[in-house]
Structure 1
């Protein structure tokens, strides 16, 4: 029988073997404890189930201090009255920060505060303002001096802040220039991540700027009537389109006083005149179209397909045993001689029907659409004799927003105008 011992050094040269008998007397640290016996009458502790709020990581003290400092820096902009907020006052707030603190302490928090207030001042698409914001960074201090600083992102919070400014420029379609390049070069150097982001913007943003075949002006007109004209010009594929605007007060029977922008083409007038007199037309909408950040609601006048209006004969499929046996031999021995060529459909004849007109109204109500029909009937007298079906629905039904009861689909038939 092999008996193992553990030898422990006692003093300078004495060694003592530890056996199970004398192990208790040495009082060595125990690495294992026997499980405690459960006492009678005590309930077992249930494992605690952590909720989502407990799983969510709470912000540390540094993050709370930074958020509080950003709120304090917003006072540079909030102390300006709303009627005086423009580009000049925004630049004045930046200059006041640089004059109050020569050391530029907490300049990162000030830049984040400036980004939050750019839309309130209307300067979120101004390149000169972004240059003033990036000039807040001290020059030369954040430039990496060796390969290790380049690899491990020298001054990471400051570089992240500068990248956030560039991302805001990219979101607002602001293209940088050579002056902005020198600002980043003097602040962070040529081998920083900020410079890498800037060079990618130099390459891609000019390409995206000219990629749209139907360009929109960078600065949209503030007049909603002019915006409606631009939207109708972009949506209509016919170069002979006629876009007219009028006030509903010109219509004697109008009850809604607003403006209407109408778009119709000569081919659409011809399609209306060629339709049977008892065939109904449909006014559908509202649909949404975007011009930059502006959302406009438009409506269309369309014709339903014949197969949707007339049920026709019921199609009875042939039995499966006759499908492969009935061969049409005439296709092999006779040549096809067409009597006439089919007319090529216009761009307004789509698979789901014919688009006969479009409009954008100021109020997007049924009364304004009735005024639009009355305006079209001046140049298309056939519209007075046709039934008009209004299929109106809210644009919220095309999104994830659940519409209310008043925004549900409404359908009415107006037999005459």
Structure 2
């Protein structure tokens, strides 16, 4: 019976060879072997795009309405399209790029939904050798990238995340090890910062300035004062003038230090200095003094005849002394106050100095210097020249190039 089946199969192959066109023998042999050893893939047919087109995953996320519901809808449509979920790695990589634009980069539910896109129980190793080597490396690296982005945004995984990873890759896979390291280190580093940044930064510039100044100030007794709120004012001539916010902070110790400032030296307003709070950059200004501007207490030399309070001794340096530079021993000017303003011009900062005179009357006797650095400027395009001048310059360049070519030719002739 078995031999009969072989004869029937050989007869069918010979009949198929009769209908083949006349080609070279090795080409016909390769086509025959390809026809014999190739079988159709099981499962429903999938419409694959041609090789010169891009997978339409980026187009699926390019929507006008970008929120959590629309993001999850794209993932649900992909999961329900095909049982085998072909192209899941490309979809996950595109989803990771689009998450900040949808505002779901810190949502644990969305990350678990991304891990649920992987086919289940397909990439689990079946023996020791598969566990020893990286089984399905591209899929495991994609899952590790998801966990890396969770770590970057400070999202702590939960038990559902562990269940999805074990169901997809097994207990001894690299994504599960990454999950275990995150659960080990996240609770230990969660409360190490004594001055944590608020989770939700306020959009109000006055409230944001209050948070930033309280974070910069080293004294807990420092008081924040709002000198000016953002508003618009209509002048007598009908013009509209906008006033930016102006918020300052000063502690009682700074007030006492400013009262002891020597009137011979001026006070300096410096800035702006950048301060980053997550992805928000703000700028603040400082009222400070130069080194050595503090009043020196004059001591009476006859206060104690036997034990004088000050000795003027001119001692030479020893050869064994260290002349290296130490940052901790550098004298800097004392900081008297800080502020944050919407516009850092001298007019707005001058209002700040005038408001500080109510609690610091000595500012009326001190000269104030403004050392303000220019902010970021836009790149200015060069001025376009007139057509006539540009044409003359091009002609001059061409004539100089021709002269150089003639000189090189003459030099070559002389060398020959």
Same fold flag (TM > 0.5): yes
1:210-257 per-residue CA deviation (whole Å, 9 max, x = no partner) reads: 11011122222232332221111111111111012232679999x761
Q: TM-score w.r.t. structure 2 length?
A: 0.65
Stretches of structure 2 lacking an aligned partner (at least 5 in a row):
1-50, 236-240, 297-312, 320-329, 381-416
- Mean Cα deviation higher: 145-154 or 363-372: 363-372
1:91-116 per-residue CA deviation (whole Å, 9 max, x = no partner) reads: 12211222233331101100001011
- Alignment of 1:154 onto 2:138: no
Stretches of structure 1 lacking an aligned partner (at least 5 in a row):
1-64, 311-315, 325-349, 397-401, 406-417
1:182 to 143, 151, 163: 163
* CA distance in structure 1 between the aligned counterparts of 2:204 and 2:158, rounded to whole angstroms: 31
* CA distance in structure 1 between the aligned counterparts of 2:218 and 2:108, rounded to whole angstroms: 34
Instruction: Give the 3 Å change call, closer, same or farther, for CA 66–184 of structure 1 in structure 2.
Output: farther
- Alignment of 1:288 onto 2:281: no
1:20-31, aligned counterparts within 5 Å?
Answer: none
What is the aligned partner in structure 1 of residue 260 from structure 2?
A: 274
* CA distance in structure 2 between the aligned counterparts of 1:166 and 1:77, rounded to whole angstroms: 21
* CA distance in structure 2 between the aligned counterparts of 1:250 and 1:106, rounded to whole angstroms: 54
What is the aligned partner in structure 2 of residue 131 from structure 1?
A: 112
What is the aligned partner in structure 1 of residue 61 from structure 2?
A: 77
Instruction: Give the 3 Å change call, closer, same or farther, for CA 213–107 of structure 1 in structure 2.
Output: same
* CA distance in structure 2 between the aligned counterparts of 1:66 and 1:111, rounded to whole angstroms: 21
1:108 to 78, 86, 89: 89
Q: Secondary structure at the match of 2:284?
A: strand
What is the aligned partner in structure 2 of residue 301 from structure 1?
A: 287
- Alignment of 1:352 onto 2:336: no
Report how many aligned residue pairs link the two structures: 299
1:326-365, aligned counterparts within 5 Å?
Answer: 351-365=331-345
1:160-219 per-residue CA deviation (whole Å, 9 max, x = no partner) reads: 111111111111111111111111111111100111111111111222221101112222
1:234-290 per-residue CA deviation (whole Å, 9 max, x = no partner) reads: 11111111012232679999x761002211111111222222334311111111112
Instruction: Give the 3 Å change call, closer, same or farther, for CA 196–319 of structure 1 in structure 2.
Output: closer
Q: Confirm or deny: 8 A CA contact 1:159 1:194 kept in the other structure.
A: yes
What is the aligned partner in structure 2 of residue 207 from structure 1?
A: 188
Q: Confirm or deny: 8 A CA contact 1:288 1:395 kept in the other structure.
A: no
1:52-100 per-residue CA deviation (whole Å, 9 max, x = no partner) reads: xxxxxxxxxxxxx79933xx2111110x20xx21112211221122223
What is the aligned partner in structure 2 of residue 144 from structure 1?
A: 125
